[in-house]
Structure 1
Amino acid sequence: MRLSLRLDGDRVRAFHVALAERLSQLPGIELCVDARPAAGGVPQAAEALFQLETLIHRLPADGTARRVPISMLAGHARASQPTELTIDLVGDVEPQGGQVWQLAYDGVCGEEALLALILAGRTPLARLEQDGAVVAEGRLGTEYHGIALASFQDMLARSASLIVAAVNGAARSHLPVLPEPPSGASSPPMPPATKLGVRAAKAMARRIVQQIYHLCYNAPHWRVGWRQTGGSDLYELRAHPQSGWRDLADDGSRFYADPFPVLYRGQVTLFVEDYIHRTGKAILSAVAFGPNGPAGTPKPVLELPYHLSYPFVFERDGEMWMVPESGANRSVDLYRASAFPGGWVKEATLLSDIVASDATLTEHGGRWWMFATVRDGGGAFSDQLHLWSAPVFRGPWTPHPKNPLLIDIASARPAGRMVSRGGQLLRPVQDCRRSYGAALGIARVTRLDDTGFEQVVETILNPGAGWAGRKLHTLNEAGGLEFIDGSAMAPRWKQRRESMPSGLGDKQ
């Protein structure tokens, strides 16, 4: 198929070059680039803001938004013959025989519209449209809220993922409807240069405040909450329990997150990410749990040279298995416990050369399925869902032909084990629209097979009176005990006092 990529030749970015390369590598695609100058584009004042953010946040200089010479597209000359499909990134192509897919952000074409949404604090809805009909859509996300350039780069990268998936026939034309009324707000305009200047000044001030905060507090700092369900868990309540949650205590020098309890031989054992602030890396730890709480403090059970988290533990064939997150190693690995709760021995690498977050396994329809968000070509870690299937949990694992199954910062990333209730498969998901791990969603899976995946997000739980803090991003249960996690404040001075001998702390 002859495909034309329409972009603004006066504002070529690394994003355009990467997208052109990805499209040209698709089977059967003959790519050309239409790089005539176009109206609009990101204003110079915004480019100046990008330069300032690069400096104060120490962002890499080789991001997807960097401007590059048009000569980098020289291998994809403008078409001399009519094309069958045009991907229009600027919104000025009129159909002339072939199909035209226009990329729009909340209904407006062009990178300026994307940046305006970011600056307004909105979650952009990216759509490829043909004559008003939706070809593909996705809710774009970032882990860098408040940093315009980093957010812009993440969302450009995921826009490329959406386009490639659509050309490949894998993208979806609709997203899960969220259990909240649509905002109805129109697409915001680009702020004038004066307001961008004010934003730049605020960015510098905010960065100074952040640095002072980090001198006073260990951040980020997560905490685990737990409770006895009494027969009614969050899947039934769909709200925080009136009894509230009890905290799993930490000493401030580390935090616990990603709680995964398991009932094994009559005993509930809780596995957690155990992040040590001093090292800047997490290990996995475990502690026995009873109706009155933990039997001591979590003890290390698995430590590797790279960061570990999300200890997905499960029992099968009379043995305990674990698939921890190891995106820092670009792998998804399977471990077996030789001396539970420790003695973890690596049995297999299930996926390799991949940055996959929060791999979650479940059995459905006579097969094993693995859910994870994947960071490909840059972009956020939390907005692109991929699936794999296998005859047994040891593999081999086959990628779903429709990957990515979902591009949605509100419901793509897993948030714990999937459960079956009343014959229906329920999936906890992370809603990262406001920030990473900001809220917890409960989705009902309505389709899961080799040809597709669908889910309905039925509930979104936020932190608040029932769970203090700004985060809520994991849900798991075992043996009548339920666990969640969220954010906390960990003053460094409190940590120092608590580590001093009795009687000395109050004198400092």
Structure 2
Amino acid sequence: MQVSLRLDSDCLRAFHLLLLQRLAALADVEVSVDARPAGSGIPGSIAALFQLETVIHGLPADGLAKRLPLSALAPFQTRTPVSLDLVLDLCGDVQVEGTRVWRVTYDGAGGEAALLASILDGRTPLARVEENGAVVAEGRLGTEYGGIALAAFQDMLARTASLILAAVTGAARGALPVLPEPMDGRGAPSLPSAGKLGVRAGKALARRVVQKIYHLCYNAPHWKVGWRETGGRDLFDLRAHPASGWQELPDDGSRFYADPFPILYQGQVTLFVEDYIHHLGRAIISAVPFGPSGPIGRPEPVLDLPYHLSYPFVFERDGQVWMVPESCANRTVDLYRATAFPGGWVKEATLLSDIVASDATLVEHGGSWWMFATVRDGEGTARDGGGAFSDALHLWSAPDFRGPWTPHPKNPVLIDIASARPAGRMVERGGQLLRPVQDCRRSYGGALGIARVTHLDLNGMDQRVETILTSGALWSGRKLHTLNEAGGLEFIDGSAIAPRWKQKRQP
């Protein structure tokens, strides 16, 4: 297939080169470049904002927004072939008779200026690949760096590349899950004026100073775990916070607990948590037994490795307890077995390697084992792309939870910052899977969704988001991002404030 990439020669970025390289690596695809001025670039005032953000936030200088000289296109054919099968239009100005043209849009408008306008307007950009107005592929782009325009821009460029590649290979989905809230009917935003960008830059600098002061006074981020007795009705039934609210698992302020995973084993509920130790800057996995009145003691370490661990996905199978903790800092997904429950964990297998996978969640369904996880393309450099940790859902299948695991042929099966990332175990109700998901549009872990999986096989995965829960009067703080239950006890987590001067030693 002969593919031409239309881009603005006045605004060549590392993103364009990465996209060209990935397209050229596809089987049976030959890529050429149509690089001409398009007037679709960004004004100098935004470039100045990018420079300021790079300095005050310590952002890498070799990200996907890095400007490149035209000579970087030398490895690619710059003369358009006589016969083209497809034009990928990143500028919105291509009109070719007799050739398919796919236009990339953000909230209905083309060009990188449209993406930046949505970011600066505080939106979750809806990216689409369109052919004559019909949607070929779409995704809700995300970032974990809200408020930092350059970081968000680079994350979303990376995911734009993912969306385009999925469309070219035929793996892309045509429609996103509908969310249980009114559609945003606003038109595409415009870029702010230089004056407004100056105000934004001033606020960014002031906000960074405030953040530095805050971190001197508080341990941040700081999470907390909530728990309750279900009385036979969990959040999958209630679809709202219980009127009785939640009790909190105490911590001493020098550490926090998050990602609660309970398991009922040999008649006892044991809660496993991410145990983040502030002065180490990383987490271990700890566990604490629970009774009807709450925790029996405090969480004690059960798995401590030289890198950050979280999301301790525990389950019982074949009379033994297994765990798949998140270890994306090690670029692996590993399986552990308890030899002296709740401790004595030994690694049984590396299920996936050389991958930045977040919150791997396993489920047995339809005669196969399935693994759900969001995947980041790399470390965020011009070489590997990066992107957000939370908006690209990948699946794997296996005959047994020990593997071997085979990637889904249509990965990523979903690009959606509102419903891609797992948020706990899936449960089966009425013959269908209900899936807790993280809604990270507002911020990482900002809200919890409940999605019904309506289709899951090697042809793809479809889900319908039925409920979105947020923090509020019955669960204080600004976040809510995990949901699990075992033995009649239900657990969630969210954000908390931890003043350094109030740290106390636990007995």
TM bracket, shorter-chain basis: over 0.9
Q: Name the counterpart of 2:231.
A: 230
Distance 1:362 1:462 in 2: 25
For residues 458-477 of structure 1, what are the structure 2 equivalents within 5 Å? 458-477=466-485
- The one-letter code matched in structure 2 to 1:76 is F
Q: Name the counterpart of 2:434.
A: 426
Distance 2:396 2:64 in 1: 28
Q: Name the counterpart of 1:117.
A: 118
> Shift in Å at residue 70 of structure 1?
1.3
Q: Deviations over 1:341-364 (max 9, x none)?
A: 000000000000000000000000
Secondary structure of residue in 2 paired with 1:473:
coil
- The one-letter code matched in structure 1 to 2:201 is A
For residues 54-453 of structure 1, what are the structure 2 equivalents within 5 Å? 54-78=54-78, 79-376=80-377, 377-453=385-461
> Shift in Å at residue 80 of structure 1?
3.3
> Shift in Å at residue 500 of structure 1?
11
Could you tell me whether the CA contact under 8 Å between 2:437 and 2:449 is conserved in 1? Answer: yes
Q: Name the counterpart of 1:42.
A: 42
Q: Name the counterpart of 1:504.
A: none
> Shift in Å at residue 115 of structure 1?
0.3
Secondary structure of residue in 1 paired with 2:336:
strand
Q: Deviations over 1:431-456 (max 9, x none)?
A: 00000000000000000011111000
Distance 1:17 1:287 in 2: 50
TM-score by length of 2: 0.98
User: What 5-or-longer segments of structure 1 have no aligned partner?
Assistant: 502-508
- The one-letter code matched in structure 2 to 1:460 is I
TM-score by length of 1: 0.97
Deviates more, 1:473-482 or 1:81-90: 81-90
Secondary structure of residue in 2 paired with 1:51:
helix
> Shift in Å at residue 73 of structure 1?
1.1
> Shift in Å at residue 82 of structure 1?
2.6
> Shift in Å at residue 499 of structure 1?
4.3
Deviates more, 1:270-279 or 1:89-98: 89-98
Could you tell me whether the CA contact under 8 Å between 2:420 and 2:438 is conserved in 1? Answer: yes
Distance 1:95 1:36 in 2: 16
Distance 1:401 1:14 in 2: 27
Q: Kindly tell me: are residues 500 and 336 of structure 1, through their superposed partners in 2, closer, same or farther at Cα, counting changes over 3 Å?
A: closer
Secondary structure of residue in 2 paired with 1:134:
strand
Q: Deviations over 1:69-107 (max 9, x none)?
A: 111111112213131101000100003211000000000
Deviates more, 1:62-71 or 1:255-264: 62-71
Deviates more, 1:383-392 or 1:34-43: 34-43
User: What 5-or-longer segments of structure 2 have no aligned partner?
Assistant: 378-384
Distance 2:37 2:485 in 1: 57
Distance 1:291 1:208 in 2: 45
Q: Deviations over 1:17-60 (max 9, x none)?
A: 00000000000000001111112211110000000000000001
C-alpha RMSD of the superposition:
0.9
Percent identity, aligned pairs only? 75
Deviates more, 1:158-167 or 1:77-86: 77-86
Distance 1:53 1:121 in 2: 17
> Shift in Å at residue 274 of structure 1?
0.2
The question of 1:11 aligning with 2:11 is answered yes
> Shift in Å at residue 249 of structure 1?
0.2
Structure 1 residue runs of 4 or more that deviate by more than 4 Å after TM superposition: none
- The one-letter code matched in structure 2 to 1:60 is P
How many corresponding residue pairs? Answer: 499
> Shift in Å at residue 465 of structure 1?
1.0
Distance 1:476 1:486 in 2: 13
